[in-house]
Amino acid sequence: MRLQHLAARAFRNLADLECDLPERGVAILGANGQGKTNLLEALYYPVLFRSLRGAPDQEVGRFGGPGFQVEASIHDSAGAASVIASYTAAGRKKRTAVNGEEIPRLADAIGHWLAVAFLPADVGLAGGPAAERRGFLDRLLALSDQRYYVALARYRAALAQRNGALRAERQDLARAFDRVLAESGAVVTAARLAWVERAGERFAAELDGLGESEPVCLRYHGRAELAESAAWDAVLQAAASRDQARRASTVGPHRDDLVLELGGRSLRSIGSTGQQRTAAVALKLLELDTLAGARGTMPALLLDDVFAELDAERQQRFARRLCRPPVAQAFITAPRGDELPAGLELEQWRVAEGRIG
């Protein structure tokens, strides 16, 4: 899968742009605050139709403007496709269209353009709280399988209503959401467990290839029995008094974690900054492979200042990894060209004051 053309209007600080994208990708260079990451954000927006930095749509448009629009023209083995996302500030209305046809349900628009993004904050996948790793799992599995996307949405809705009932001290009302919580939560838990089981060896191989000499392990921390909906009733009953005391649901995949270990110990606790960044990069490569396997096409890679805080050897190893198949297209930012490792062989664009030069 390759992005052939991008058009963005009133997006962040970017000047309105229309550009053709090289087949292998681009190295995007520029000083801080000039728009490099905003360009990556525009590239990523048609993947999930939201900011890759988690910003609400009203903050993505140009300050004080009427809204924004992003259009991506894509080509893969199935042919060409056009994906358009627009947001109107008045009324806070978002529209999506694929091949000129408006798509009323966001779930049906997602997945026509696939990309995996790394931001500096993604080091938190290795060193941050469990919520970041749960978000990682939810994103890659939702993009891989619409059934997961639907189950996750149902689970989150039921969880919010159940927690609202617990806060109101309405235990009877809280129990009314247990069935939906069990059905959707079992799908979420089962999919996560299956992915971790498949991904463990590949995670170790990616880290080894990036220069990590210590043995590594990837495992899921949660209650495996909750992969079966029939197990939920007893678990929820056992947790009822605790849920009531805390006024929140205390069991389920919203409490679980993806554990990364280095030499038998938590990478979050003992890993250096470089080791944690390397592990986060390895997780992104797993995300790339997972999406490719599920969708039958290789997503693009969007990498924001990814080589910072990696030693020279790890930089070179990662550069070689990017240059070999199956990586299809890569967009990489850096302040200057001399901060990129040799051998990337990408066309270089410069961004200054929101303009590509």
Is pLDDT above 90 for 208?
Answer: yes
Q: How confident is the model at residue 344 (pLDDT cuts 50, 70, 90)?
A: confident
Q: What's the N-to-C CA distance of the chain in angstroms?
A: 26
Residue 263 lies in a domain: yes
Task: Name the amino acid, one letter, at 135.
Answer: G
Question: Can you give the pLDDT at residue 345?
Answer: 82
Task: Tell me the mean pLDDT in the region 44-69.
Answer: 93
Residue 267 lies in a domain: yes
Tally of residues, the chain: 357
Q: Are strands 330-334 and 300-304 parallel, antiparallel or unpaired?
A: parallel
Greater confidence, 356 or 345? 356
Structure token pair of residue 163: 């927690």
Residue 260 lies in a domain: yes
Residue 172 lies in a domain: yes
Residue 335 lies in a domain: no
Task: Tell me the mean pLDDT in the region 179-200.
Answer: 97
Residue 200 lies in a domain: yes
Beta-carbon contacts of residue 175 (< 8 Å; ≥ 6 apart):
none
How buried is residue 309: exposed, middle or buried, by Cβ count under 10 Å (0-12/13-18/19+)? middle
Calculate ∠ Cα 193-197-199, nearest 5°.
115
Q: In whole angstroms, what is the distance from residue 191 CA to residue 347 CA?
A: 39
CA torsion 176→182→184→186, rounded to 10°?
180
Task: Name the amino acid, one letter, at 45.
Answer: Y
pLDDT in tens, 84-129: 999 999 989 999 999 999 999 888 888 889 999 999 999 999 999 9
The pairs formed by 234-241 with CB atoms below 8 angstroms and a separation of 24 or more are: 236/178, 236/181, 236/182, 240/171
Q: 187 is in which domain, residue-wise?
A: 124-295
In three-state secondary structure terms, 352 is: strand
Characterise 211 by phi-psi region: left (phi > 0), alpha (psi -120 to 50), beta (else).
Answer: left
pLDDT in tens, 227-257: 999 999 999 999 999 999 999 999 999 999 9
Residue 102 lies in a domain: no
Task: Give φ, ψ of 352 to 5 degrees.
Answer: -140, 125
Is pLDDT above 80 for 77?
Answer: no
Task: Tell me the mean pLDDT in the region 167-171.
Answer: 95
Calculate ∠ Cα 27-32-35, nearest 5°.
60
Is pLDDT above 70 for 258?
Answer: yes
CATH code, domain carrying 289: 1.20.1050.90
Question: Can you give the pLDDT at residue 325?
Answer: 66
Task: Tell me the mean pLDDT in the region 197-211.
Answer: 95
| b/e map 13-40, b = 16+ CB within 10 Å | ebeebeeebeebbbbbbbeeebbbbbbb
In three-state secondary structure terms, 47 is: helix
- Residue among 86, 36, 39 at smallest CA distance from 66: 86
Domain total in the chain: 1
User: Contact 320/17 with Cβ under 8 angstroms?
Assistant: no
Q: How confident is the model at residue 277 (pLDDT cuts 50, 70, 90)?
A: very high
Question: Can you give the pLDDT at residue 1?
Answer: 85
Q: How confident is the model at residue 187 (pLDDT cuts 50, 70, 90)?
A: very high
Helix H or strand E segment including 6? strand 2-9
Q: How confident is the model at residue 28 (pLDDT cuts 50, 70, 90)?
A: very high
Structure token pair of residue 71: 């259009």
Residue 146 lies in a domain: yes
User: Contact 304/120 with Cβ under 8 angstroms?
Assistant: yes
Is pLDDT above 90 for 207?
Answer: yes
Secondary structure (DSSP) of 113-157: S-EEEE-GGGGHHHHS-HHHHHHHHHHHHHHH-HHHHHHHHHHHH
Question: Can you give the pLDDT at residue 111?
Answer: 83
The model's pTM is 0.90
Q: How confident is the model at residue 326 (pLDDT cuts 50, 70, 90)?
A: low
Q: In whole angstroms, what is the distance from residue 333 CA to residue 33 CA?
A: 12
